[in-house]
Chain A
Amino acid sequence: MSVDLATVKRVARLARIAVTEDEANRMVGELNGILGFVEQLSEVDVAGVEPMTSVTPMDMRRRADAVTDGDKAADIVANAPLTDRNFFLVPKVVE
């Protein structure tokens, strides 16, 4: 499988990365290089093989359903580029 310019632009949109025409053109070659490299996986016989979901077999640990953290709104917004009274500010999304 290989990608064309339209696919690269569509994927960039999905990834929320603005790309210029030049960048998109360059990415077509690079992504096809990588996809060409990974293509060899299709020759592996995986009939009856389970996909890996956890590299070490382990049971998920549980803990009591209790509030153990919180009351740190000021810490949470401390690194935000734009805030107001412990809210994150973003451009208007609802007219």
Chain B
Amino acid sequence: MFEETMTELASLTIAEAREKLKARDITSVELTQAYLDAIETANAVFNAYVAVTPDQALAMAKASDARRASGTVGGLEGIPLGIKDLFATLDVHTQAASHILDGFKPKYESTVTQNLWDDGAVMLGKLNMDEFAMGSSNETSFYGPVINPWKAEGSNQQLVPGGSSGGSAAAVAAHLCAGATATDTGGSIRQPAAFTGTVGIKPTYGRCSRWGTVAFASSLDQAGPIARDVRDAAIMLRSMASVDAKDTTSVDLPVPDYEASLGQSLKGMKIGIPKEYRVEGMPEEIEKLWSQGIQWLKDAGAEIVDISLPHTKYALPAYYIVAPAEASSNLARYDGVRYGLRVDGNDILEMYEKTRAAGFGTEVKRRIMIGTYVLSAGYYDAYYLQAQKVRTLIKRDFETVFHAGVDAILTPATPSSAFGVADESLAADPVKMYLNDIFTVTVNMAGLPGIAVPAGLDHKGLPLGLQLIGKPFEEETLFRIAHVIEQAAGKFTPTKWW
């Protein structure tokens, strides 16, 4: 095929590719090859994939074409996807972008990825991320930073794609996969989606199984898709979500056809606007974007109501106790004995200490240290217990407004657009980097679903997103409203410079 045709194939959305595959205009092998070619050309630029699996991809594509010929067609039949390095994939690189999992190739498959393969999807490879999903810029990866396909107008500066699912967001935006899996513990799906003009949804805690996903903070972690548009995200989530006997926190609720909620009217819906999200120092254009979003929803027939979520400001500090505490416990398993890196020592203790010193990066060590400290004798009540009580109050804030009839909440997704790689002020102050998650982290603390949808460009020509927060297990409402925003705002694709 001519190069132009290949590029066109890779620019199809999942829904468009699905139609062309169905009509037999294209095969999954052709589609998969188009993405493998795009990765071959551009991955050196973006560093989005940490492992590409071309042989496996083509074998899966061939098998998909054979299934289609025999009349068996799954929800993602023949669609090539990128998988965040956090998901265990049988016999394939799975390291959570960490040195400590050096060479790890699991002998099992995560439930989420198994669900995708069962629905006919094709795996292109494993995507870069912040080490153990700890970061907001994809710069804590052992494999180095991911580069955002977006650049500011008239500037050549490299920008971050956000994090931790930075590889997923960049690969989707640069058309190096049709869609990608991602995970979100404090904003790791929604912030990178907002930074790259893509759509990312963190479903309700329990909607997707966590089995086989490398654990960061077990009470907050949740998988979800990053996709080119709202419809593609709806298609992917339907396949990813399931109850799972191997994860007792997964819920036994039917998985709806999320796509069916697209195009439904917003008449009679009540959208809450929380005053606490109007934070000090918020750029005027974020404020403007938010007002524009409110207007779009009003125009679509929704009722807008002012609401208050009084404990919002405490969500981020509570998160930086709860998440590191759970991480310090989860990451205790990396000891150089059962998998990954091992650095020898004179005795077993020294072996543990040297292995973990060499295997974990700076940010991961920092969070393990914080977590160990807040759980240690004498500090547990003051920090951890206090944070878990505040978490109850944060959740109660949301319950109160939902009880009062609010169907969903509209907020900005991030306090800024994408920032530069190796930003010195952020590197010097960990807390400043943490503030990236100020609008997203409340959702994880309360276990709610949240979606980030592109809503416009800032004065530098960089994408900005809006966030919708919903009631537990009402992802359909989020897709429905996000689709209205997408219809009004249009879609955003970076100008190709690579």
Contacts and interface: CB of A to CB of B under 8 A. Distances in A.
Given A11-B373, A18-B356, A37 B348 contact: no
B317 A80 contact: no
A88 B338 contact: yes
Where chain A touches its partner, the secondary structure class is loop
B353 A81 contact: no
Contacts of A3: 373
A91 B348 CA distance: 5
Interface string A18-51: 1100000001001101110111111010100111
Contact of B320 (A34, A44, A46, A79): A34
A91 B335 CA distance: 12
A15 B368 contact: yes
Given A44-B311, A75-B107, A1 B379 contact: yes
Contacts of A80: 337-339
A39 B349 CA distance: 33
A16 interface: yes
A17 interface: yes
A61 B209 CA distance: 14
Interface stretch (B191-199, B224-232, B387-395): B387-395
A15 B328 contact: yes
B301 to A, nearest CB: 31
Contacts of B434: 37
Nearest to A33: B431
A60 B320 contact: no
B393 A46 contact: yes
B111 to A, nearest CB: 14
Nearest to A88: B337
Contacts of B314: 40-41, 44
A59 to B, nearest CB: 10
Interface residues of A, number: 53
A88 B348 CA distance: 13
Interface string B373-407: 10010010011011111111101000000000000
B370 A44 contact: no
Given A31-B366, A49-B389, A17 B373 contact: no
Contacts of A15: 328, 356, 368-369, 372
A11 B382 CA distance: 17
Contact of A46 (B321, B350, B389): B389
Contacts of A44: 311, 314, 386, 389-390, 393
A90 interface: yes
A85 interface: no
Contact of A58 (B249, B317, B370, B386): B249
B405 to A, nearest CB: 21
A18 B357 contact: yes
B351 A56 contact: no
A79 B103 contact: yes
Q: A33, A55, A81: which has the most chain B beta carbons within 10 Å?
A: A55
30 contacts: A1-B382, A7-B373, A14-B372, A14-B376, A15-B328, A15-B356, A16-B352, A17-B365, A18-B354, A33-B429, A34-B431, A38-B317, A41-B318, A49-B393, A50-B389, A50-B392, A51-B389, A51-B391, A52-B388, A52-B389, A56-B251, A61-B245, A72-B107, A77-B338, A78-B105, A81-B341, A81-B342, A91-B346, A92-B348, A93-B348
Interface of A: 1, 3, 7-8, 11-19, 27, 30-31, 33-35, 37-42, 44, 46, 49-56, 58, 60-61, 63, 72, 75-82, 88, 90-93
